[in-house]
Structure formats: C-alpha cells, structure tokens
Structure 1
C-alpha cells in the first residue's frame, strides 16, 4: 500500500515508522525543517520502551515528490487542516482514501470540503509520541488502540483492508461502526489532560500526582459527557474516571501532551477543537460547561502572551 502521512511530527512519525517497517511505501510529508532534513539524511530514530532503533523512511516537504497515494493519513494541527490538504492535492487520486487521526472534533467536515465526503474516513488513536530532537522520537504503541470507521458506520471492504494493514504494522486497530461515539471517547481523554498540562506545563507524572488537578480534570470530563448525552452520542466511557485513567495508561511519567508540546514550541494549540468543541456544543444543546470554558480562556491567554512576546522580539 502507498501511504502518506500529512503532518509528520511525533505521532505522524510513529505511524510512519510502523507502516514503513511493515513493508509499505510510506512517506512523511511535513513543512520543510530540521525534522524532515534529519530523516532524509540519517533516518528516523525511534525510542520505544527500553529499545532504540533506526528506521529508513521516505520524507519530504513537497507533495509533488510523493504523487497520488492509496491512503492519506492527516495528522496536521486541527487549525491547519483545510489549508494543508488543499496544498497537497498532488497526493490525491480517484481512489485515495483520506483518514483523519487528529485530536478533537470536526476535521472530517473540513476534509470533505476539499476531497469530497466519499473519500473521507474517520479515526482516533491512543498511540502517543514525543519529538525529542529532529529525526528522533519517543513513542508508545504497545497496548494503545486505534479505531477507524466509515462516516456512515458501514463495515466496508476498504475500512477492513486498512485495519488489516495497520494491524500488520503492529498497530492495534479496531473497525468502529459508531465512529462518532469513538471520536467522543477520545475527546474525553484529551479533555482530561490536554489543557491542564498546557496551562501548568506539567508532564503526566507531575499531573497525576496532584489531587487538585485530578478533580479539575474529572469536572471537565463530566461536562463533556453531559454534552455528548444531550447530543445523542453513544459513548463507551460513562464515568470521568475512565477517561482520566485511560489517558495515562501505558505512557511514561515523562510524557507530554501534544498541547503542552505546542505551547513549549511557541505554537498555537488545538484547544478550539477539544475543550472549545465541548463549549460550543454545550451552548447548542443547553448544557453548561464552565470548567471547559475556563480552560479554553486560560489556554487562549497563554497563546496571546506568546504571540505578543513573539511580536515584540520581531521588532528588536
């Protein structure tokens, strides 16, 4: 299978390494920068548990170098989805399947605007990754599930084939006939930890040792569960504690959420597609979400401070 991963940071590189090692022609496509340069020159160094290995994988910043693919996995930051896919049309052929594994809600609609709804499938993954240095990642794959599904819930041949490809690469993958509920399940996990770690700048080990932060996380997840129920979404997670426990399962104490990693790099976050989605849908369905609204406001405040500082530095 010819596969391209659009947005090849830590998580994209983790998927790319697994699929490349399984024998698939796999490309990492990302903005030009040190990470892509390092992979092209020296390969990708993958640290998992107590082992370290080097993976040879194709990497580029030009979609034209890749050409049409069978499967396009989208892992760019949520706010960059439409622009990134619109700029990578060289990857798209009549049979290309486009899979979003991004955090939060709403990406499938953005992708459908560019490629057409028939070519879009949805998914969520609990696989984790951290970019340690250009060309070097730490990942958690073992015991971490990935769910994929057709937007209409059909058990199609193409979704079954992609699941088999992922499983053959060591990625524990399940086909979901309720992908909306599956996406909400993952959203609950992101709601539990993402904003809190971004605001406090804490790793998982630090976060999970602070009882006050645990109570805040559980309150945020409880709001999200109430919104999902009001929207008629069938969840597999029914208690906030389940999302809190699932978020850290199998990950090291040093793990950093993608939201924290974004803020550490001075980048804007996906808060609008995670806690922000809970707030918007809560307003639509008449469910109060004061904890999530507060978390959104705090992260937005941090983004504003970073932006102002970057502007001041640019003037010097």
Structure 2
C-alpha cells in the first residue's frame, strides 16, 4: 500500500510513524506532508521519534515533503489511501491541493480517511472529491508534539474507529486500509 498522510503534526506523525514502524517499506510506503520546518528536521535527523513512558522508537522509513505536489512528484506508484490530519479550517485547501496534484501527475484520487477534530470535514471532502472517496474516522490517543517530528504518547491505547462514509466507498480499499492500521497496533474498529 502506498499511504499519503496530509498533516505531519501530532496525529499525522503518530499514525505515519506507527504504520512505518510496523511495516516493511516494500509492503507499505508512508509519505507525510507537513510544514517546511518539519520536513527539514525529519530529513536532518533522519526520521520520526515516537516517545512514551516505555522508551523511544526511531522511525526512518518515512518520506516527508512540504507540499502534496512534491509527494505526488516523488511517488513511484499512485497513493492507495490518504489520511487527512490537518486542522478543520485547512480541510478545503488540503483537498484542493490533493486534487490538483493527482490531476497534474495523472494519478487517481485515493480514498481519504479523515482523522480530524471537528464536524463537517467529511462533507467537505465528499463535495470536493466524491462521497465514494470518504472514510470517516476518530482517534483517541493522547499525544503531544515535543519538537517537529518528535512525539510523546501520553497513553498507549491506540483506539481508532473508521467507517465508510457512503456505500460507494470501495470495500476492498477500506479493508486494506483497516488491515494496515490494525497491523500498526491501532484497533481500527469498523463502524456502520
């Protein structure tokens, strides 16, 4: 699976870091899009640091770019899924950038899992892409950003729920995303 995570803050780095840590890069490729400062720090370090009361994990098999267009430019294969973790007020801009990058590089639009705070994000994604592209999600892991690309996980209870927002969401893609998240240690409980 080729996974794009748009928003390299606390939740984006948590999900991307855990997925990359628990999968071989030949099996699942993780690409994050975040602010230029995060990209710079993660490239210099290199990688993400996931800290908890149990210790630290250094995750190096991730790519990080400061724009979605750069992520598409460097992707050797189409993205199978995107996970949106930006603030709600950035949803429209993030989806617009995703749409433009896919079109520019002649790639299909991936299914988008929204792991955002707030309400109405799924409606915005559905309006801008289509209802068949939307997976709704919720995550309940308290995490704090210590520095760009360095997280502290307060409680390691990786609860995550997801649901096809519309019956037209391809079940095969939904289940593949669910399996990737479960293998990374998230509960990834499906809801109707």
TM above 0.5, yes or no, is yes
Give me the whole-angstrom Cα distance separating, in 2, the residues matched to 1:59 and 1:9: 12
Q: Give the counterpart of 1:81 among 67, 91, 113.
A: 91
Unaligned segments of structure 1, at least 5 residues: 178-316
Report SS of the residue matched to 1:87: helix
Aligned-pair RMSD on alpha carbons? 2.0
Counterpart of 2:40 in structure 1 is 37
The change in CA–CA distance for 1:170 and 1:144 in structure 2 (over 3 A counts) is closer
Q: Normalising by the residue count of structure 1, what TM-score does the alignment of the two structures yield?
A: 0.52
- The answer to whether the Cα contact below 8 Å between 1:85 and 1:114 also exists between their aligned partners in 2 is yes
Q: How does 1:258-297 map to 2 (within 5 A)?
A: none
Looking at secondary structure, tell me which structure has more helix per residue. Answer: 1
The change in CA–CA distance for 1:100 and 1:32 in structure 2 (over 3 A counts) is same
Counterpart of 2:81 in structure 1 is 71
Counterpart of 1:148 in structure 2 is 162
Looking at secondary structure, tell me which structure has more strand per residue. Answer: 2
1:61 aligns with 2:71: no
State the shift of 1:134 in Å.
Answer: 2.2
Higher relative contact order (CA closer than 8 Å, sequence separation 6+): 2
Counterpart of 1:26 in structure 2 is 30
Q: Give the counterpart of 1:166 among 165, 181, 184.
A: 181
Report SS of the residue matched to 1:53: strand
Give me the whole-angstrom Cα distance separating, in 2, the residues matched to 1:95 and 1:110: 15
- The answer to whether the Cα contact below 8 Å between 2:80 and 2:173 also exists between their aligned partners in 1 is no
The change in CA–CA distance for 1:164 and 1:13 in structure 2 (over 3 A counts) is same
Q: Give the counterpart of 1:113 among 94, 110, 127.
A: 127
Give me the whole-angstrom Cα distance separating, in 1, the residues matched to 2:143 and 2:94: 21
Unaligned segments of structure 2, at least 5 residues: 73-77
Report SS of the residue matched to 2:12: helix
Q: Give the counterpart of 1:50 among 50, 54, 60.
A: 54
Q: Normalising by the residue count of structure 2, what TM-score does the alignment of the two structures yield?
A: 0.83
The change in CA–CA distance for 1:141 and 1:72 in structure 2 (over 3 A counts) is farther
- The answer to whether the Cα contact below 8 Å between 1:141 and 1:171 also exists between their aligned partners in 2 is no
Corresponding residue pairs, total: 176
Counterpart of 1:133 in structure 2 is 147
1:100 aligns with 2:110: no
Q: How does 1:224-243 map to 2 (within 5 A)?
A: none
Question: Where has structure 1 moved over 3 Å in runs of 4 or more?
Answer: 152-155
